[in-house]
């Protein structure tokens, strides 16, 4: 396992993202309300650069004939086929067995640091 400083906190405003190349892979860093998350920039479906997708909300469980929308700014939608992932976990919304690789993020001073194991 290795740690990598990938950005400064001020570089990624709330609701924003930054895509970096580190340790031989591309990683998207997201800021959701001041908490940072890191996802490998590869969609589990067909390998699209998923971190280039829209940051959105999603339909929530609701009663029949009702539509409830929520989680705005917490969902990453793949730009190719619109698969949706929880930015905080990398978990696909449609199947608990599908996930994007996520990396632990820590803040050291003003540095955003991610920990990456072997490729």
- Return d(Cα 44, Cα 49) in angstroms, integer: 10
The whole domain housing 26 covers: 2-116
The model's pTM is 0.91
Is 90 exceeded by the pLDDT of residue 117? no
Total tally of structural domains belonging to the chain: 1
- Return d(Cα 29, Cα 83) in angstroms, integer: 19
Give the other-Cβ count within 10 Å of 119's Cβ: 6
Answer for the pair 78, 56: CB distance below 8 angstroms, yes or no: no
CATH code assigned at 28: 2.102.10.10
pLDDT one-digit tens code per residue, 72-111 = 999 999 999 999 999 999 999 999 899 999 999 999 999 9
Got the DSSP string for 22-67?
Answer: ETTEEEEEEEETTEEEEEES--TTT---GGGSEEEEEEEP--TT--
């Amino acid at each position: 396992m290795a740690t990598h400083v990938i950005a400064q906190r001020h570089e990624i405003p709330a609701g924003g993202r930054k895509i970096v190349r580190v340790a031989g892979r591309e990683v998207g860093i997201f800021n959701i309300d001041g908490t940072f998350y890191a996802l490998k920039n590869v969609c589990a479906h067909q390998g699209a650069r998923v971190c280039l997708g829209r940051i959105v909300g999603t339909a929530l469980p609701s009663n029949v004939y009702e539509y409830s929308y929520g989680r705005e700014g917490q969902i990453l939608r793949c730009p190719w086929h619109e698969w949706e992932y929880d930015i905080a976990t990398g978990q696909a919304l449609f199947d608990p067995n599908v996930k994007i690789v996520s990396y632990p993020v820590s803040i050291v001073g003003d540095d955003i640091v991610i920990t990456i194991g072997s490729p």
